[in-house]
Amino acid sequence: MFRRDRKKKQDKSSKKQTEQTQTPTPNEQGNPPERYAKVAEKMAKQFAKPPVTGSLKTPGIIQHVQQIPGGAIIHAANASISVIFYQPNLVEIRMRPDRQFPPVFSYALSETFKFTPQAATVTEDTDTVVIGAGGMACVFTRTTTQLRIYMTNGQEVSVESGFSWLGEKVTWQRQLPPDEGCYGLGQRGWGLNLRGRKWALWNFDPVGYGRGTDPVYY
């Protein structure tokens, strides 16, 4: 009797182990790949910040210009804009409502990289502020901080409608010449030329993306 009970227990234990090793994975059970996206979307809504309402804010009227090595900082009514030339034809433009411009970390730059400021000039009149460094010039309209970029031969290569933001969302619009395409923007889930559409640039991976949305952050 003792031997029979022991054998039954061994059979049950062996059967249980076999069932555990043969348990199918979630995909084998037939759960669709969208399950993760649904859970992530639910959590994103649960921990989402309250929406910010109101109208878009803009830098406003330019009040004064502070010249710095390699460029200048434009101080407007609601924000400041930093313009720094890394090369005569390579410029970095940053806009911050808090007027602070800490160093920007980049995996593309070596830790030993040292920035050599270019010889930049600042010219002001009643309508515009012009910041240049030999290869190109950035022209800001005083009343709207609209940005236009010109080459040394007078060719207009970039026209922007101006900076605007609402909460943590920033809006940037640029006018394109008739024959210019728009490529990249962080590997969008669309065709090659992204011209003629509005695209969101994320600082995190959006979940549950599909064709026409943003698969990776910028």
DSSP string, 185-208: TTT-SS-S--TTS-----SS--SS
How far, CA to CA in Å, does 46 sit from each of 50, 51, 54, 207? 10, 13, 23, 14
Residue 121: pLDDT over 70: yes
**Tens of pLDDT along 125-142?**
999 999 999 889 999 999
For residues 170 and 56, give the distance between their C-alpha atoms in angstroms, rounded to a whole number. Answer: 9
Residues contacting residue 121 through CB under 8 Å, at least 6 positions apart: 130, 131, 132, 133
The closest alpha carbon to 218, from 205, 201, 206, belongs to: 201
For residues 5 and 11, give the distance between their C-alpha atoms in angstroms, rounded to a whole number. Answer: 10
Residue 65 identity: V
| Per-residue pLDDT, 49 | 78
Burial of 171 from C-beta contacts in 10 A (0-12 / 13-18 / 19+): middle
Task: Calculate ∠ Cα 118-119-121, nearest 5°.
Answer: 125
| Per-residue pLDDT, 62 | 97
> Cα dihedral angle (32, 33, 39, 40), rounded to 10 degrees?
-170
Burial of 215 from C-beta contacts in 10 A (0-12 / 13-18 / 19+): middle
More confident residue, 162 or 10: 162
More confident residue, 105 or 24: 105
The answer to whether the beta carbons of residues 200 and 215 sit under 8 Å apart is no
Residues of the chain with CATH 2.60.40.1760: 62-102+114-175
DSSP state of 179: T
What's the predicted TM-score (pTM) here? 0.70
Which fold would CATH assign to domain 62-102+114-175? Immunoglobulin-like (2.60.40)
**Helix, strand and coil in the chain, % to nearest 5:** 15, 30, 55
Residue 24: pLDDT over 60: no
Tokens 């065709």 correspond to: 191
**First vs last Cα of the chain: how many Å apart?**
72
Residue 29: pLDDT over 90: no
